[in-house]
Every structure is written in C-alpha cells, then in structure tokens.
Structure 1
Amino acid sequence: MQRKDFAFTLAVFAALALGSQPSVQAKPTPALTAVTSSNWAQVTSPVFGTSETGTYAGAELFAGPNKFNDGNYFHGVIPNGRIVKPAGTSLQVGMNPLGAVLTPDGRYLITTNNDERDVGLASLQSPSNKGGYSLSVIDTATLQVISSIFENASTSTPKGFIGLQITGSGPYTVWASGGGDNKIYLYSISTDGQIAAATPASVAIAPTLPSTAGYVSNYVPNPVLNTKDANGNLPPAPSGFSRTTGAQTTFPAGSALSPDGRYLYVACNGDNSLAVIDTTSFAVVKQIAVGYFPYGVSVSKDGSKILVSNWGVTEYKFASPAYDGNGQLTSIGATAQNQPAGYFVPLTDTSGSNPKTSSLSFVSAPGGDGANASLAQSFYLGKPLDDLYQVGDTHPSATAIVRKGKIEVLYVAKANSDSLARILLNTNKVLPDFDLSPIRVKTSDGHKVTGSYPNALVASSDGTRLYVAEAGLNSVAVLDTTRPARPKLLGRIATGWYPTALALSPDDQTLYIVNAKGIGEDINPLTDFTTNPTATGVQSFSDSNFIFGTIQKVSLSGLTLDNTAVLGYNYGIHAPADTSIVPAGGKPSAKITHVIRILQENKTFDSMLGNLSVHFGPYSSLTYNNADGSTFTNGQYTGVSLNTQALAQTFAAAVNYYSDSEESDAGHQFAASGTSTDYTQKTLLVKTGRGLLVNKNFEPEDYPASGYIFNNAARNGVSFKDYGAMIRIEGTDTGTSTPTTLNDPPSGQVGYPQLQADNFTITQPVVNLGDVTSTTSGLGQSYFLNLPILAVLGEKNTSGEAHLDANYPGYNFNISDQRRAKEFIADFDRMVSAGTLPQYLYIYLPNDHTGSVQAPNATAVGSSGLQQIGDGDVALGQVVQHIMNSPVYYNAATGTGSAIFMTFDDAQSSLDHIHQHRTPLLVVSPYARPGYLGKQHYVTASIVKTEELLLGLPPNNLGDLFATDLRDLFQSTYNGITASQIAFNDSVKYQPTAEGERIWKLVDKLDTSAPDRDSRRLGRLTRLSMAADDLHARAAKENRLSEAAYLAAQARLYAQAEAVVAAPKVDDDD
C-alpha cells in the first residue's frame, strides 16, 4: 500500500466509533520452545504420554469419543492423535456438513450435509441423522434437529454443496446449491421449523463454457463413442467419461444474496462462471465468466460489487479432442501410450487484468442490478508455482466483508497458505496478507510450514470481529477488526474435527460452528462391555467412512480465548529420549542410510492381523459388533496375509496406529505428504456429478503448498525414486477400457493370479493361470487429459537416476503385484550394482485393493478378492526378502543399514474391533525392535515424519510436524534378524470354493467402471465370499457337505450377498 493510501485509511479508521461486542477476553500465549529443522522431533501428538486403562493399560489413548471421563461425549481423540474438546454445546447432524445459514431471526440453523456415501444409514448416537446428502434444521434454542430432508436412494437426488441462503421472514425459503445436480434447490421452512421442497423445486444452471473447446465439464458425445467395433470393443475412454449424455457440469458452490434479496449470486465451480438468479422469477438472468473453480461469493453493502473467489489452479481439458459438424465429440484422443501429458509445473493464468488462477473476480452491478452485472477486473491472490518450494497454490476460498461505517474490507481465506487476503473495497486496493500461522518453524531450506487450512469466515454485524474456521487446527481464530483493515489475533476457540462453516446470531452474541467430521466414528450404545470386554465401543460393523458431523453453539459473552489450550490440543513438546537411530532433526541418521516405504491398499489392523492374538493379545481380534450390539466372527483376510503376519511378529509393529484418511484419494495425499488440502477434503465426498473434475489423487489443486516428501527431498539434495505412486491423475484409464492393450500387459493376459479349482485345501500346490511373471511395460494406464504429473517426478537425481520408474505400473488392478515386484527388484539390483541407489524409495503395491476392475476381453479370467490380496502379500514378501538379502539392508562393517516402513493408505471396507481407522504399520530394519508392540498413538503422518528425520529433512507441513515420530519402534543395537529366519510365502495358496466363487461372481453386478467405486459393497461381498469358504472348510472337515443344514447356511450367505447387490449403490467411495 502506498503511504498516501495508508494515511487515508488510517484517518478513516480513527474516525470510526467502537462497536459493541461480547466481553471476549484473550489469554496471552506464552513463548514456546523454538522449533527448527534441528529440533523438530520434539513436537509430538498431544496424547503423547497418556494411557488407556484396564485391558489396554500402557497404550496411549485410542481414537474415539468420550475419552476424558468428563461426561462430554464430544470430548475425544481423533485418529490423527489430536484432542478435540469443542467449546460450548455440541450436536450431531448429517454426514460431512460443509455449509450453514441462520434464519434472519436466528431461530433456526440449517446445515447442508454433503456426503454421497451411506444413503439412509442411520447414526448410532442419533438415529434421526442419516447418511447421504441431506439438510438439517436445528432449533437454536433447544439445539435439536427438528426436521431434515434426505437424498432419495433411487434417484441420488437432491445433492448439495456449500452454498445456502435464506429469504423470507417466516415461513422461509432456503436456496441450496445442488453441486453435482447442477441446480439450485428451493426448500420451504415453516415457522415451526419443518422443511419441505418448495415450488418451484429447483432452478437449473446450464454451462457457459463452450462444448467444442475441449472442456471436460461440457461436451456431448457422438454415438460413435458408444459403438463397439468388430471385436466388440468400445473406443478407449477415461474413468468418469460419459459415453451417452456427456457432461453439462456447473456444480453450484458458494452463494450470496443482493442486499434487497432480489438476486442470488452463485459460484459455478464446474463452469468457471457466476450465475445470477432472479429470486422473483426463479430464472437465471445472467452468467459471467470468472476464474477457475469459483468458490465463495460476497456482495458489497450497496450491491454494486460482487466478489468471487477462484479456488482453482488450472484448466481441465481433453488432450486431443475432435468434434463433428454438429459440435458432438467424436474422439477424445489420448496422450502417448502409457504416458501423461508431461511432468511439469501446472499451467496457470496469472497475468493481465483478469487472472483466472487463484484469484478474486470483481463483478460490477451498477445500482445493484444483477441482471446487468459484468466482470470488471480480477486480482491475482496466488503465488508463482515451481517444482520444489511453492508446489501448491494458495486456494482462495471463503469470503467475508468487514464493514465499519463507510469502510468495507473483503477478507478471503487463502486456505493453502494459512493466511487471509485483504482488499479495501473503497479503493479496490489489495493489502498485504494477514498471516494466521499457529507456530513459527525455522526450516533449513527456508520454506514456510503450513497446514491450518483457514476455510470459512463470518464477520460480526458491527464490524469489530472476524471469525476464521481453521480446519487443520480444529479451531476458530478470533480477530479484532475494530480497525477493519488492521486485524489482531485475539485467540482461538476449540472446535470439533475439521470445522467447515460458521454463522453468527443476529445480535453477534452466539457463534455456530459446523464440523465436517465431528468426533469421528460413533460409540455403539448397544455394545455390551461385559460380554466383550476388549471392545472399545467404537462401532465396527461398518468402516472408516461412517462419520457424522456436528455443530457447536458457543456463547461469546465472557468467553476466554485460550490460545495455549487450543494449540495444546494439536501438539505437545517432549524432548526425544533416544536419538541413536532417529535423529532429533537436522542431520540424517548415522545408522540408517536407506529408507523404503511400501504402501498397500485399504485394510484395517484386524483384517490382516486379527488372528494373531497369541502375539498381539487384546490388540488382535476376529470378533466384531453388529449394529444391535450382538457379535460375529469373520477371518477377513488373515488366511492370505501370511507375509504381513510373519513380518509383524518378527519385527516392530504398531498396534495403535491410524490412517489419517477415511478413503483412498485423501489417503494417498497423507501418505506422500502428511497432510491433505482443503480442496481434497471438500471435493472428496461429492464426486458424483463432477464427472472429470473430481480429484483422483494428485491434481494441481490437491498439491499441498510445500508439496510432498519428494519435493522436500529434492530441494534438500536427498535422492529418491518413486515406484507407481502419484501417477494416477484425473482423466486416466486404469484398465477398464477394452481392449486392454493400452494398459499393459504385453502378455495379453489379465495380470492377477487365477487359481486352478480342484478341491478346498490351501496346503496342496495350486496353479497360477493368470500372469504373475511378465515384465511390466509403462505406467499401467492411459491419459486423456492435458494435466501434468507432479513436476519433480519427471526430473533426475544428481546421479542421473530418474525420480520415477517409467516401467512400474500404478493404479491398475489388471496387473499383478508380483509383476510389480519383479520390476522393482530388477531396477533395485541394477542401481545397487551401479552404485546409484537413491536414499529414499517409495513402492506402491495396489492390487490387494480387491477392486475387481477387469477388462471384459476375450482373455479375461475371474478370481476371488482373497486371491488379489494374496497376490499383494506375496509381492510384499518378495520385495522385503530381496531388500533384506541385499548389501544395503545391513552392513556389518559400518553398522549401517535400511529401514522399511509398510502400511496401507486407509482402512476402509474392512473391520476392526478397536477403531475403524486402525491399520497395520510394520517397521523392518536391522535396528527395529524384534517382536515389539508399539503402543504410542501413531498416524500416517508419523511415517512421513520419521522418514524425513532419518533423511535429515525439515518438516514439510503441520501434519508431519504435529505427529509423533516412530523412534519407539527402533533400538540402538543390531537385532540380528536375517531373511533366512523368516518363513516368507512365495505363492498365493488360497483356493476359493465353488460357493465362495459364486458369491464373488456377484461383484460383476457392482459399479467397477473405475478403481475404488462401490468400495463398501465390494468389501461386504468379499467378506461373505470368505464366510462361504470358511463354512465349506468346516463342513468338509466334518464330512457334512451334503447335509441340509450346511446347504441352508450357504443359501443364507448367498441371499445376503444378493441383498448387498440389490441395495442402492453407494457413490464413489474412492
């Protein structure tokens, strides 16, 4: 800001009178121990040093509600080890609430609950709350949900997203953004709070982006794209591509009303436009091009300025589209076989008068006439991107205007940079950002450590306070805006897990906070601890996606803002006790010279290790709870996880380790970085309707500000190589198109093993009919969009070794993990021989996902889910055994060696008796503690942190910084364990029965058009298939295969499986 502008502003501020506010007091934050790259291991989870009681005494607090014996169900520990003790009073609502609005009289609060999973599944604690999309109406006086409207399971409508506005003074009309339905839905709320569809029920918003310019959000397919050739094959296409109706995506998001209520302004996130709806005629009267992925909308007091935040980074277009004379898409084209468009920094639009990347669009509506609005100019709010330091952009998202007299200052949450943009609307002057960083970290490479994710704003009506939801800290920051352009941080309010929306009562005395994840999975009130004393009560009949949100009602009068307590719920400070293997920070480990990660897919601890109660005691179980509190037994995948079990019993295994994420897309983000951006989280559960705009792991909007462990390594001179991770981006075909020639394998066979059926015995040799030995070629997928893969993966180490193995397949279940292992081993040996082995290796083995995504070509063969899991387990053993037999695993002369970390990206679609986020974590190393049970509370980010400490890297974000590292799983002396001491299993020994295969065949009726679709039903069919196999085995042993009771029991299992298939499809659980 120039001095004359600043002087003018100060003069205006000096003339402003102080407004009335509740007597909120700020408690000062004492100076914390300085955190630097040299000592950052001292930062731990806040539950460090705590203990469970009874059966689990000695283990740090598990994740779950009601953990502090204070009578408050919502006071608990969440999977990432943070403590949540939300201020005020809490209430459970629907799943994944992202938006909220109060009626003008403050009597009712409405939330939009945006989760495409679990349609109709009732909450354990509050059965009136159900899964799927919904709206909840809460009586603010009693804090009770008094009415709701739910998604129709058969039509999957209505959908929703963040935008909610209200007109009328009672009865009221709610204008709800319909997200993937490309509509604004209208609802009426009676004076007694009952919600119902209004008339008209909706206003459709058509796209403005041209349908013949390559945009994936607007295209009409020519019938040729849905026509089979002479061999019965359709033209190849990416997952999410519609061959029949195409896409006409606008995806309404944030919204705002004009001051007189005449116009509703809607950010169309999928169309890069602002729609103007006349609320009297229920018609779209204007659509205005703005920036990429518009998100939030605010309107000036006089209605003449509409401000739109643009969340996105880049355009989403087909790589090489072709159209006919009627404008229909005749070919989408593809990039070079098995290769993406490239490895480059995302292409951005940041120059000129109307930048589209990470920007704010200023739309002018003279006299407040929205029908004649037009784009005036845009402001770039991002940062120049590069391959190492500024990897992800700033994500301008929520907006709010602070008004004081004639002064209006627009605040924009820059969610991916932990800051607020400020624009003085009186002069359209962009002021310096306001930094919300909760902790200062001095890093050796100079990058800023971020991860508080400010993502929702609300300003008091008198202009003296601004409240900022910080999703990464589970808090609301309170700013004093008495001087509107010069805010001061007063302190923070504790919230539930992942706050996403805020609302203030008309008198500014009460703050309502919406938390997308509430307290995590519920405790089942029907669990009988007397008959099942090892149960924690956290439900186990579903999976890690069964999470309901909450709202908080916080009285601001007399509230003490204790910044220390809120930050204390996020991290602790404890000096590391032993730095002999894992350093305190700064220098790399003196003993560990090579670090290896092995990432697999979607398993709970019990699903792989639940049969090992002799070794793990009460931390292993095969007994789980039904919804009614009764118990059942299921072996899950323990019959085929033989190598996982052998390693878990030989080396150190964590029994109190949790996935940061509920499902795969975010799971891969956490696994590679320790964090997950606001974009990833908010689009995670609303994919249906976004078409080819969904996040599939590593799009530019997914990138954390400082990138991933690969970026951290590269900017600090640490060599690395990636095998299969981070190459799945939107617009890929991962093996679902026919024929499969574009997706490997050169052998022409589907890649996972098919076992020859004879009789049920896992001891006899079996024959692999599938391809588990062919050399892999390419990345295992085809690319149809002009999107990059992370730029640093296309570069090389100083030795000349590539950062990515270009012949290691990624996310494609048609390719056996044993073939992946073969490629890794060959590459590993070559580099060891050449002396170019990188310090860090990241190996992805995805086939145990059991996706059953199988191209229906002539050579396709069937298999069971357990065979795919067995394939992954065999590959795991092959990789670990080979590394252990190599010279880099342990060098007796130097006393140096390697550390291998093995885990899963998430825990969905399987069961656990302690917590649905709990998953296996194994540490294989000459310095791992033999047979050790790690009972500290660990999380996905703990692995990232430990790897970084071993490699001498600084923290990359608040996720890895705030996690407890894994030093407890190591010892200072060589453990003496060699590969020859471990009974590695080198082939899939599981033989499915005819009954089990019959159930598994029903998987063909699920939506397997893309990996990770229909995951919950897939998991249930897998377990039923295994139950049929187990039943057969017991009957065969007792010679009862022909008995009526046995046949009836098998018939019941098959009927249950048919019921699963007949149930409504749960949308993309990716």
Structure 2
Amino acid sequence: MNSLIKILVFFLAIIITSCTHQPKITVLNAPAGELPTQINKSGITIIPNGRLITPAGVTIPVAPHPYGLEISNDGNIAVTANSGTRPLSISIIRDLLSTNPLVQQVPPGPFSDKGVISSVFMGLAISPDQTTIYVAGGQENGIYLFNAQTGNKTGFIDCSVTAKGRKVKDGYIGDMVLSKNGKWLYAVDQIQFRVLIINTKSLEVIKAVGVGRYPFGIALSPDGRKVYVANVGMFEYKPIEMENENQKGLKFPPFGYNTDEAKYGFRTDSVKVHGLGDPNIPESFSVWAIETSNPEAAHVTAKIKTGHLVGELVEGIPAVGGSSPNSIVATDEYVFVSNGNNDNISVIGPHHDTIITEIYLKPHEAIKRFRGVIPFGLAISPDQKRLYVAEPGINAIGVIDIPSLKVVGHIPAGWFPSKLKVTPDGKKLIVANAKGFGSGPNGGRDFKPGPEGTYIGSLMKGNVQIIDIPTDEELKKLTEKVIQNNFQISCSDDPKHQWRKKNPIPLFGGQKESPIKYIVFISKENRTYDEIFGQIEKGDGDPSIARYGHNASFTNRAKADSVQGATVMPNHLKLARDFAISDNFYVDSDVSADGHRWLVNTYPNEWVETNTPASYGGNRSFKYNSDAPGIYAMTGSAGAIYPEDYNEAGSMWEHLDRNGIDFFNFGFGIMFEPAVYQESFKYT
C-alpha cells in the first residue's frame, strides 16, 4: 500500500428525483475527495476507497480479520476467531462491558503457533457455564476446546470419525452453534457438504447430515428443534480428465459461464471436461432445515432457495451471480437469511419453511439500483423486536424492525463489519470489524515496522466495537452519518463540477461524446504508486521508496551481484511524464485474490473476504488427493471470479456485452486454483 495516497474520486451518475433540473442527474463522489488516506481512531479515518470510518461507541483492537464472534450468556466475555493472515488465533475479551476490558490473544504474539491453533475459521461457541470455548478448527477437521478463564487449550474434538466409525479424512470446520443446554454442538463442514452433531459430554460426532454445497452459516431455532444451514456454493467442481498424462491443462478456457457446455460438459479424443450442472438446483445458494428434536436421528426436512435465481430478470438485467446466502438467525416467528450478492434479507416462515418476503437494504434513494452493501452477520435483540445486519460494503450495521419487517436505520461501524451479537440485557451491540481501521502504510519515510513486520495481511488489525443500542432519534442521526461516510451526493449542474468541462471523460453517460475511442487495460500487480512513480514531480508520492524509478541501486538476494544508478521502468516513467499520471487511482484490495476481482468491476463478497486471508495464512490449503467433494473451492490466491462470488449483475465483461461494446480479453481473470500448472504461467 502506498505510504501516501490520494483518494480516487469516483463518479456515478443516475437519474433520480432529488435534483431540481431536467434531466435530473445525481452524481455520487467518494466523500474524502482528494484527501489522503489516514488512520485517526478518535476522529475520521479515510480508507483507500475514499470512504470514511467513524465507528459509533468504543473499539477494542484484536488480531487481523476476526470473522467469528461469540459472547457469553452473561455478556461478560467476547471471543473472536481470527482466521488469517497471521496470527491464526482467538481473542478472549473479559470484563467486556467494563471501562477496562482485558484482552488475551491465544496464542500470544504476532505469529501463528501451530502447537496451539494450527487452523481456525469463523466458528465459535461458549458453554452455558462460561467455562469452555469451542473453536472451529478449519482444515484440521476438528474443534478446539479452550478454558474461557485461563485461555489454556483443554481438548480437541476429532471430526474425522462419525458415530458409525466412518473415517472422513479431510474436512473444513466453520460456523457453529451450541444448544441452550450446552449438550449439543452443531458445526458445518464446508468441503464435505455436511453438518456435524457433536455430543459435548463425550466429545464425539454422533451424527453427520448431508446438506448443500459449501455450508457456511448455521443457526438453531429458539426451541432447539430445528437447525438451519446456509449453503453458499453454486457448483461441485471436478478436475479435467486427460488421456495423455503429460498434458496438464487446456490452452483455452473450455466454456463460457452458464452455457450449455458449462452445464453438460464435453469431451474430445483426449480430454473430458465435466459439466457443472444447473446453477439453481436445491444444493446451491440455499437454506436447508434439519429436524433435531432427536439429534441422533436428525434429518433434512426442507430445502429453500433464497434471493434471486441465476438468470432471473432483476431490474431489467438477468442475474449473473447467485444470492450467496451466508448467515442465519431465527426467532419464534421468522428465520432471517442474509443474501450477500442481492443486498437483501430473506424472511422464512419456520412453520412451513417457505419464503415470506425479502427485505432490501437500500440506505439511500440515490443508490437504490446499485449493489454492494454485502449483508453478512445477523443478530436478534432479546425481545425479538430488532434485527441487526452487518453491512461490510458500506461499513455499517443495518437495523430492521421485526414487527413491520422494515429497515429503520443504519449505524456506523469499522471497516468490514462481519459478525455481531446483542448483549443479553439488550442494551449493547457487539460488532467484530474484520479490517478495523485499516493497515496503514507498510513503508516510506515515516514508517517504522513493528514485530508483525511489513505484510499488509498482518498489519490489518481487526477490532471489536461496543455500541449503545440507539433510540429512534439517535438512529436517525447515525443513519445520516453512514450516508455521509459513504457518498457525497450532488447534482450534475453543481458549480463544483465546472472544472470537468474540458475533461474528455463525460461526467455521466450521454452528457457528451468523448474523443476517447479505445481503451487498453494492462494490469500489473505487487507494486505501489510510490515504488514506480514516487519521483514524478507532478504527482504526490514518496521518492524515498521509488526503487523502480530513476537512479535505483539494488543487489540480488545472494548479495553476489548488484546494479547501480539504473532506470528500472523507463517506459512507465516516460508515459507518466509525457502524458498523464494519476496519483489517486488504485485498486481497493489487500492482496492479489481480491484485487483482481476489483479490477474487473466485481466487489469481493463475504465468501471471498473470509477465504482470502485464511488462504494466504496457510489456513485453507488445497489437498490434491482429497476425496472431499468441496476441495476444489480452496481457491488460494486465484484472481479469477468464481461462480460463488460472481456479483448479481456480473463483471466488467458482462457490462460491456450488455451494452454492445466490443472487447478482447487476452487472458485476464482466468487463472483458477486449485490447479496443476507451472508456476511461471501466472506471470505471462
């Protein structure tokens, strides 16, 4: 990340009724304008996409990427599951609601300790007597037990063996829920497509129930008689079969997304490509209900499709991506499901397990046709009158009135709120913000590395936010703040846009004809603006780290050879000096995997955001000889968009195609993992 970055000013223009002239064009800008990124924990933090972070309440720092959160029955203990990049850990916060809460990270320090926790992913539970913390062990195919008072590890539940003695070698344990009496623990196994039922006294798996693809979220009905699981996957992937064992791949992609070839597959004399099937079958993007009155005889009773189907016409556009149901909570009257790609909440009637309605999260009239709220974690107030929704796309918490099933407001959160809970007394909202206040710079004149080093994934500390439940009047003001933090809204004839009159890029579609006829888009990665252009006088950069600029000197790793006074990237520098340079144009990402998605106009949903730090932290590894049906969803650092995270309206390529704009793609965004390939392929 640049040590000093100006904010990309983005423009979105739409026709709405809030402007006073005809045609009524409203322009949306990033609220930070040209201000540089900054972390100000007691004021306004500016993150790289130009949005502002002003979390309500107080925050407590924890390790990077806390995608799991649980609180104890008395509200005194909170635990986060920190799934990467490093340290793989849990954070135990005791005396949570006091003026001086105590944080214990297990294991301590900036690095992972596989002797304590070798894998962790999202799932947490705390026993009713507040003595035991259950931690989902991800790819270790098990569940860790820790003492809630000391933080010491006390046991491990092996999820590779079921009650009938069947051995399941590979698994990936994620979200979990504990029965009220603490006797039964229910956990999803993402890659074996199953829900595990565990006896907490014997610490044994007594039942495994097959469910849909990549089960992600799980919830228990208030009476404990039914478990609901959200399946976030679309397809079950299979490797390409080659007759020639020396042939390791195809020269071109075998088919286009959602074509007949994609559904049914094809074969030649030497290659068999398996079809992916129908994207709308019950196993994909769905919620399954499991009867658990007798846990040892648990069985599936309903399969419910939530959100929009692939191909369904939504506001005039056939849906490209699926709904991405990811989190669930249940009341006596309703079951709520967050659909990450549709920006809505499905409401299920538990008596017949059918969809009643959908609640759309549209924080402002000006953005009602856009997507990107990314509803994720859910929490219910103890009186079952309020539903709280993590909205990581706008760094907020949505508030829904349950009796009316209406959105009543939004609360400012940290960067990428993931999971949330309401304290038992109903007075506080506890939120885990996966990216906290951001990483800040990892180099430059004023940067001093700490014990965690310089890697962005280690610098991206999360936090836990404690918020007083607002009154209705307070909620109105908080909602206004959320809008201000995300959008600067104006009319196209506002005087502040006059400077753009001679700009060849129209302020909005149809404003004028642009002289630009062709765009050549070349993507390179792993280099910051400052590293290459930090010496450019007309840009706002840091020349102290311009190691790929003019007069650069460096040696090889062995220190056996060196180059002095070189101009490393002369073509880039000449283009910048002779033509134009933008010192506030960059991708909103942490690493390659999410960055390549942003580059093709798709925002990473909760599936990508949770998987990416786990993968980069060695916490979500592909095992080539595994028999797990979901093993090919271990996406690693792949930059390609997967069907599981395709946005509702698709990517840049679909937008161009829908608008009749011709384009050539010379291979961008088709590097899939897991795969067998030469390491050098990804650099071509």
TM-score norm. by structure 2 comes to: 0.81
Aligned counterpart for 1:42 among listed residues 27, 31, 39: 27
2:533/2:541 contact within 8 Å kept: no
> SS of the residue aligned with 1:180?
coil
Aligned counterpart for 1:492 among listed residues 368, 392, 410: 410
Indicate whether 1:339 and 2:252 are aligned.
Answer: yes
CA offsets, 1:333-365, max 9 Å, x none? 97863233422316455677xx10100101112
Aligned partner of 2:330 in structure 1 is: 401
Following superposition, the deviation at residue 321 of structure 1 comes to: 8.6
The one-letter code matched in structure 2 to 1:285 is I
CA offsets, 1:537-570, max 9 Å, x none? 8999714332100111111154711322201100
Aligned counterpart for 2:123 among listed residues 163, 167, 170: 163
Indicate whether 1:733 and 2:676 are aligned.
Answer: yes
Aligned partner of 2:486 in structure 1 is: 570
Following superposition, the deviation at residue 498 of structure 1 comes to: 0.3
Q: Call closer, same or farther: CA 1:679–1:589 in 2, change over 3 Å.
A: farther
Indicate whether 1:177 and 2:107 are aligned.
Answer: no
CA distance in 2 between counterparts of 1:360 and 1:567 reads 32
Aligned counterpart for 1:428 among listed residues 345, 353, 360: 353
Aligned counterpart for 2:660 among listed residues 713, 717, 727: 717
Higher-helix-fraction structure: 1
CA distance in 2 between counterparts of 1:586 and 1:657 reads 21
1:139/1:146 contact within 8 Å kept: no
1:259/1:303 contact within 8 Å kept: yes
> SS of the residue aligned with 1:647?
helix
TM-score norm. by structure 1 comes to: 0.53
The one-letter code matched in structure 2 to 1:166 is I
* 1:673-822 alignment, distance < 5 Å: 673-687=601-615, 688-691=619-622, 692-695=632-635, 696=638, 697-736=640-679, 811-813=681-683, 815=684
Aligned partner of 1:860 in structure 2 is: none
CA offsets, 1:680-717, max 9 Å, x none? 11111112334132232321112111111110111111
Q: Call closer, same or farther: CA 1:88–1:732 in 2, change over 3 Å.
A: same
Q: Call closer, same or farther: CA 1:348–1:488 in 2, change over 3 Å.
A: farther
Following superposition, the deviation at residue 301 of structure 1 comes to: 2.2
Q: Call closer, same or farther: CA 1:335–1:614 in 2, change over 3 Å.
A: closer
Aligned partner of 1:146 in structure 2 is: 103
Aligned partner of 2:321 in structure 1 is: 392
Following superposition, the deviation at residue 332 of structure 1 comes to: 8.8
Q: Call closer, same or farther: CA 1:489–1:334 in 2, change over 3 Å.
A: farther
> SS of the residue aligned with 1:686?
helix
CA distance in 2 between counterparts of 1:148 and 1:519 reads 19
2:188/2:216 contact within 8 Å kept: yes
Q: Call closer, same or farther: CA 1:102–1:334 in 2, change over 3 Å.
A: farther
CA offsets, 1:305-356, max 9 Å, x none? 111111111112223399xxxxxxxx9997863233422316455677xx10
> SS of the residue aligned with 1:701?
helix
> SS of the residue aligned with 1:652?
coil
Following superposition, the deviation at residue 395 of structure 1 comes to: 0.4
Q: Call closer, same or farther: CA 1:333–1:310 in 2, change over 3 Å.
A: farther
2:234/2:279 contact within 8 Å kept: no
> SS of the residue aligned with 2:234?
coil
Aligned counterpart for 2:222 among listed residues 301, 306, 319: 301
Aligned partner of 2:175 in structure 1 is: 254
CA distance in 1 between counterparts of 2:207 and 2:399 reads 37
Following superposition, the deviation at residue 161 of structure 1 comes to: 1.1
1:276/1:284 contact within 8 Å kept: yes
Following superposition, the deviation at residue 290 of structure 1 comes to: 0.5
Aligned partner of 2:582 in structure 1 is: 654
The answer to which of 587-596 and 499-508 deviates more is 587-596
Aligned partner of 1:370 in structure 2 is: 295
Q: Call closer, same or farther: CA 1:506–1:605 in 2, change over 3 Å.
A: same
CA distance in 1 between counterparts of 2:320 and 2:254 reads 18
CA offsets, 1:136-156, max 9 Å, x none? 334311353431212644669
1:523/1:538 contact within 8 Å kept: no
Instruction: Give unpaired runs (5+ residues) of structure 1.
Output: 1-30, 49-59, 67-71, 118-130, 212-217, 219-246, 323-330, 625-632, 737-749, 751-810, 816-1070
Q: Call closer, same or farther: CA 1:494–1:143 in 2, change over 3 Å.
A: farther
Aligned counterpart for 2:505 among listed residues 582, 587, 590: 582
Q: Call closer, same or farther: CA 1:333–1:173 in 2, change over 3 Å.
A: farther
Aligned counterpart for 2:157 among listed residues 186, 202, 205: 202
Indicate whether 1:65 and 2:39 are aligned.
Answer: yes
1:398/1:455 contact within 8 Å kept: yes
1:207/1:249 contact within 8 Å kept: no
Aligned partner of 1:91 in structure 2 is: 60
Q: Call closer, same or farther: CA 1:155–1:724 in 2, change over 3 Å.
A: farther
Aligned partner of 2:544 in structure 1 is: 621
Q: Call closer, same or farther: CA 1:34–1:419 in 2, change over 3 Å.
A: farther
CA distance in 1 between counterparts of 2:200 and 2:455 reads 42
CA distance in 2 between counterparts of 1:38 and 1:724 reads 40
Indicate whether 1:104 and 2:73 are aligned.
Answer: yes
Aligned counterpart for 1:477 among listed residues 394, 398, 406: 398
Aligned partner of 1:893 in structure 2 is: none
* 1:968-1007 alignment, distance < 5 Å: none
Instruction: Give unpaired runs (5+ residues) of structure 2.
Output: 1-15, 263-275, 556-562, 623-631
- Identity fraction in percent: 24
Aligned counterpart for 2:426 among listed residues 505, 508, 511: 508
Aligned partner of 1:739 in structure 2 is: none
> SS of the residue aligned with 1:645?
helix
Please, what is the CA RMSD of the aligned residues?
3.3
Aligned partner of 1:438 in structure 2 is: 363
Following superposition, the deviation at residue 731 of structure 1 comes to: 3.5
CA distance in 1 between counterparts of 2:217 and 2:544 reads 47
Following superposition, the deviation at residue 84 of structure 1 comes to: 0.4
CA distance in 2 between counterparts of 1:506 and 1:207 reads 34
CA distance in 2 between counterparts of 1:85 and 1:642 reads 42
Indicate whether 1:547 and 2:460 are aligned.
Answer: yes
The one-letter code matched in structure 1 to 2:104 is S
Aligned partner of 2:44 in structure 1 is: 75
Q: Call closer, same or farther: CA 1:40–1:370 in 2, change over 3 Å.
A: farther
Q: Call closer, same or farther: CA 1:138–1:604 in 2, change over 3 Å.
A: farther
CA distance in 1 between counterparts of 2:298 and 2:192 reads 18
1:136/1:147 contact within 8 Å kept: yes
1:505/1:511 contact within 8 Å kept: yes
Following superposition, the deviation at residue 656 of structure 1 comes to: 3.2
CA distance in 1 between counterparts of 2:188 and 2:22 reads 41
Kindly tell me the number of residue pairs found equivalent between the two proteins: 602
2:220/2:226 contact within 8 Å kept: yes
* Large movers: runs of 4+ above 6 Å: 34-41, 331-336, 536-541, 633-638
> SS of the residue aligned with 2:456?
coil
CA offsets, 1:922-951, max 9 Å, x none? xxxxxxxxxxxxxxxxxxxxxxxxxxxxxx
CA distance in 2 between counterparts of 1:652 and 1:572 reads 26
Q: Call closer, same or farther: CA 1:344–1:617 in 2, change over 3 Å.
A: closer
Following superposition, the deviation at residue 283 of structure 1 comes to: 0.3
Q: Call closer, same or farther: CA 1:333–1:459 in 2, change over 3 Å.
A: farther
Aligned partner of 1:865 in structure 2 is: none
CA offsets, 1:594-635, max 9 Å, x none? 12211111101222123x2655476433389xxxxxxxx987
Aligned partner of 2:625 in structure 1 is: none
2:120/2:138 contact within 8 Å kept: yes
Following superposition, the deviation at residue 591 of structure 1 comes to: 1.1
The one-letter code matched in structure 2 to 1:394 is S
Q: Call closer, same or farther: CA 1:182–1:661 in 2, change over 3 Å.
A: same
Q: Call closer, same or farther: CA 1:399–1:618 in 2, change over 3 Å.
A: closer
